[in-house]
Amino acid sequence: MKRWIAITIWLIISYVAFTGYSIWTYGENQDNQQAEAAIVLGAAQWNGEPSPVYEGRLKQGIELYKDGRVDYLIFTGGSSEDAIASEAEVGREYALNKGVPKSDIFIERTSQVTKENLSNAKQVAKKEDVDSFLIVSDQYHLKRAVAMAKEKGMDAAGVPTDYSAYQTLETKMPFFLKEWGYFIGYKLLDPFRS
């Protein structure tokens, strides 16, 4: 009995450690990925301007578009009660100001969390006959986001922003640990949700 307990504990520790490593390194060497659209996952907007986290994601999405790796940009994210605009609307304005044509920008402006970002983006893309995606976010968020997208049947790969607001170990570690916990919770609990 003790042997089986020890094996079980070792397996759990190994799984947790492997998951942490895969989150830390996820999205590396994605330089050649192409798709029809980039889904830029929402983050906070401040009085109509993107927060540093959101701006980093927006810059990466626009770079993918200008490099010809995607044909369209899909901006996601709703708004709080007192916000002057949704995250997606702020993203669209930012991209327009950077020279992206309005015809190549789609938005969904009601989602509040990653799962909703992806579900709503998929519905917007379906209306436009778009069905392959590069998901843009900060590196430690991507493994969970891409797993959720694939669960929804989306042809998706992750591209971490090169312009992340998380630049120092002091800022990276809390974000990484939070996403590590979220990912493990998602993998353990999501199969039991309807």
Average confidence (pLDDT) over 127-132: 95
**Position 190 pLDDT exceeds 70:** no
What pLDDT does 29 receive? 67
Query: Does residue 80 have a pLDDT over 90?
Result: no
Number of domains present in the structure of the chain: 1
- Rounded mean pLDDT, 110-132: 95
**Is residue 183 in some structural domain?**
no
Residue 181 lies in a domain: no
What pLDDT, on a 0 to 100 scale, did the predictor assign at position 192?
Answer: 45
Residue 91: which CATH number? 3.40.50.620
Q: Tell me, what's the pLDDT at 169?
A: 86
Q: What is the DSSP string of 103-129?
A: GGEEEE----SHHHHHHHHHHHHHHTT
Q: Of 133, 120, 116, 176, which Cα lies nearest the Cα of 39?
A: 133
52 located within any domain: yes
Question: Smallest Cα–Cα separation from 18: which of 165, 150, 184?
Answer: 184
Q: Is residue 156 part of a domain?
A: yes
16-50 per-position pLDDT tens digit? 888 888 898 887 666 688 999 999 999 988 888 99
Strand 72-76 to strand 105-108: parallel, antiparallel, or no bridges (unpaired)?
Answer: parallel
What span, in angstroms and rounded, lies between the C-alpha atoms of 132 and 37?
A: 6
Domain membership of residue 100 (yes or no) is: yes
- Domain assignment present for 185: no
Mean pLDDT of 67-83: 90
Q: Does residue 58 form part of some domain?
A: yes
Segments forming the whole domain that contains residue 85:
2-176
Question: Quick check: is 116 in a domain?
Answer: yes
Mind listing the pLDDT tens digit for each residue in 152-183?
Answer: 999 999 999 999 988 888 889 999 999 988 89
Cα atoms found within 13 Å of the Cα of residue 17, Cβ hemisphere only? 6
**pLDDT one-digit tens code per residue, 2-20:** 888 888 888 888 888 888 8
- pLDDT, average across residues 127-138: 96
Residues 6+ apart with CB under 8 A from 131: 36, 125, 154, 155
